[in-house]
Amino acid sequence: MKAANVIFKIASIVLAIGAAVCLILANLERISDGLLSLREQLATKRKSCCSCDEADEYEDWDF
């Protein structure tokens, strides 16, 4: 009876992993679109945050 329990637990884990993979693959286009939009938003924030050139600030410093 213990062997059957172990087999059922392993089968349920394999099925759960398979369901998660199918869910990801089914929504892959939505996921990639969301990540692309997030990347674009971060790029625009980075541009607006760092609009000045930092190299010009430290040109006159002597080390």
pTM of the model: 0.56
Rounded distance between C-alpha atoms, residue 37 and residue 44, angstroms: 11
Quote the pLDDT of residue 46. 79
Residue 60 has a pLDDT of 64
**Which residues have CB under 8 Å from 31's CB, separation 6+?**
24
Per-10-residue mean pLDDT of the chain, 63 residues long, equals 94 98 96 94 78 59 63
Rounded distance between C-alpha atoms, residue 50 and residue 57, angstroms: 13
Give the separation between CA 27 and CA 19, rounded to whole angstroms.
Answer: 12
- 3-state SS track over 1-13: CHHHHHHHHHHHH
